[in-house]
Structure 1
Amino acid sequence: MTARGLAYLLAAVGRKIAKEHRKAQAPHGKQSVKKLMGHGGDTNSIEVDAPKRFDRVARKWGVDYAIRRVEKDRYLLLFKAKQADAITGCFAEYSRRELKRAKARRAPIREQLKCAEEQAQKQPQREDGAPAKSKDFVGRGTATERADFGGVAAEGAERSLWRRKEAARGDR
């Protein structure tokens, strides 16, 4: 037997030993229902809406579980009874993420456009169809018009405006 043949034989034996070792170990993480039941012990279940989002959280927590589809958009999460505490924490984090996701979800663009259209219709219109000015807006549409918010600052601005107008008339 040559050295190459001996090396090949040792590598094959090593692969066979590693394969037997992997077979003897219980799988962890997401797995089939059959493998989960094969571990022995009791299993519990919880209903889940989004298995992909739960999968991300469960990998972080390192729990053994299986997901089974019950109906359209309804899934059953099966897990070992021994890991009930870990699943409780995992499920709590998943629930927090789902609530946060629901709050952060923005309205679709069509709904935003519909709301904007409704607001535009509620706004008072002039005869020519343009939106009317607000009641606190003073002026005739020239560049010198301003919003009148009252108070000392508004009076000072008005005096300053009249002085500029007087100065402009005197220059002519």
Structure 2
Amino acid sequence: MQEEIEEKTVRLAITGSRLTVNGIISAVRLYMRHRANKKLDSIDTHIQGKQSIDELIKQNQGVTSMEIGDKGIKTFERIAKKYGVDFAIMKDKNQNPPVYTAFFKARDTDALESVMNEYAQKMVKREQRPSVREKLKRLVEKVKSQPKKTRTKKKEHIR
């Protein structure tokens, strides 16, 4: 009987120590997970590329603006994303045709110069290209000026 009581006491002590060890391990894991989440929250998670004007201003890095024509907005956006520039585009509906204004972070001025140079080169190339409609008109005129072929239809019966 005495041995049974001693054995039960030892089992209870072992079980209690296991629970506390498991409890300590789980508490340490929770604490480490909490620390990892804190580190992730502290990382600056600002939006890059195209964004709203409010989001751009909230970053507290100063904002500069520049007017862009109504043609080639998608080209401009592609080039700006390529250079990693944070920008926002606003459309002024009061003017006819509408004028687009691009807002940038003040610290992006160096990259902005590269963006504007490449954008200007692409727009000049686009202006120098002849339009497809003009090419079609010329080809239609050429076809009209050529003499028409006379077609003869003959049916032959094979016996």
Note if contact 1:43-1:81 (Cα within 8 Å) is conserved in structure 2: yes
Structure of higher RCO (CA pairs closer than 8 Å, 6+ residues apart): 2
Q: Aligned pair 1:30/2:50, yes or no?
A: yes
| Contact persistence 2:76–2:119 (CA under 8 A) | yes
Q: Which residue of structure 1 aligns with residue 143 of structure 2?
A: 120
Q: 1:18 to 1:67 in 2, by over 3 A?
A: same
Measure, in 2, the Cα distance between the counterparts of 1:99 and 1:78. Answer: 23
Aligned to 2:42: 20
One-letter identity of the residue aligned with 1:89: S
CA distance in 2, matches of 1:42, 1:106: 37
CA distance in 1, matches of 2:106, 2:115: 14
- Are the equivalent residues in 2 in contact too, given 1:37–1:43 (CA < 8 A)? no
**Correspondent of 2:68 among 27, 47, 57:** 47
Measured in 2, the distance between the counterparts of 1:75 and 1:89 equals 19
Question: Percent sequence identity over matched residues?
Answer: 25
SS of 2:132's partner is coil
Q: How far off its partner does 1:101 sit?
A: 3.7
Matched, 1:7 2:32: no
Which residue of structure 2 lines up, in the alignment, with residue 99 of structure 1?
A: 124
Q: 1:66 to 1:42 in 2, by over 3 A?
A: closer
Q: TM-score, normalised by structure 2?
A: 0.57
Pairwise CA RMSD: 3.3
* Aligned counterparts of 1:37 and 1:65: Cα–Cα separation in 2: 10
Structure 1: state its 5+ residue gaps.
Answer: 132-172
Q: SS where residue 22 of structure 1 aligns?
A: coil
Task: Tell me which moved more, 90-99 or 67-76.
Answer: 67-76
Structure 2 gap segments, 5+ residues each: 1-22, 151-159
Q: How many residues matched?
A: 123
Per-residue deviation, residues 99-149 of structure 1 (Å, max 9, x unmatched): 3244456515x962x4333223334x5xxx649xxxxxxxxxxxxxxxxxx
Q: TM-score w.r.t. structure 1 length? A: 0.54
Distance in 2 between residues matched to 1:121 and 1:41, nearest whole Å? 61
Matched AA of 1:12 = H
Structure 1 CA distance, aligned partners of 2:73 and 2:140?
Answer: 38
